[in-house]
Amino acid sequence: MTQTLYEKVGGEEAIVKVVDYFYSELVLKDETVNGFFKNTDMEKQRRHQTKFISFALGGPNQYSGKSMAKAHEGMNIQPVHFDAIAKHLHDALAHYGVEEADIDTALTKVASLRDDILYK
């Protein structure tokens, strides 16, 4: 039986660490994108992101948040912002030893949401 990427990276426990690092060490320190999170409940954001990334990596579908388009409505996210977040996700996954091929798989799934996120 083939292991999902979710299982390969260590499941929810590992993804929680990746998400924490993603926000604490990368996103919230990046002036390009940290303004989007100025009035955000970061604990709630981390929980949503953990569920979303878990789902994106083939884990259980626990994500019950708004659609990507609805969640980003009114934010006017530009390509430079999307690319910065994708790079931070890459770097967070790499920081925890996820193989480059697996990171590429994850980022391909994230990239498929680009049109639902940009310019909303």
Query: Are the CB atoms for 108 and 8 separated by under 8 Å?
Result: no
Binding-site residues from annotation: 48, 72
Least confident of 40-49, 52-61, 75-84, 92-101: 52-61
Q: Is the pLDDT of residue 1 over 70?
A: no
Domain chopping of the chain, boundaries: 7-117
pLDDT at residue 62 in the model: 67
Q: Domain 7-117, what architecture?
A: Orthogonal Bundle (1.10)
Q: Which tens digit of pLDDT belongs to each residue from 34-55?
A: 999 999 999 999 998 998 888 8
Binding-site residues from annotation for heme: 48, 72
Report pTM: 0.90
Instruction: Return d(Cα 98, Cα 12) in angstroms, integer.
Output: 14
Q: Which of 17, 35, 15 is nearest to 84 (CA)?
A: 35
